[in-house]
Structure 1
């Protein structure tokens, strides 16, 4: 089984950093946070 999509809850400093590394590794990223402004 190969992982193609990763979901991250929390778009703070750590979550956004993880999302960036995953996206750079060519994974599809789903980022979620209670504050919509943090996702942009």
Structure 2
């Protein structure tokens, strides 16, 4: 039981990391591309 909890936790961490990487990339793209920034903020 505990083993599966650890696995789930690791999977959640990986998912969270992917999500954060995606968000950072999206924000960076928006900051470097004003048109995207306006679209993103709208």
TM bracket, shorter-chain basis: 0.3 to 0.5
TM-score (norm 2): 0.35
More strand by proportion, 1 or 2? 1
More helix by proportion, 1 or 2? 2
TM-score (norm 1): 0.37
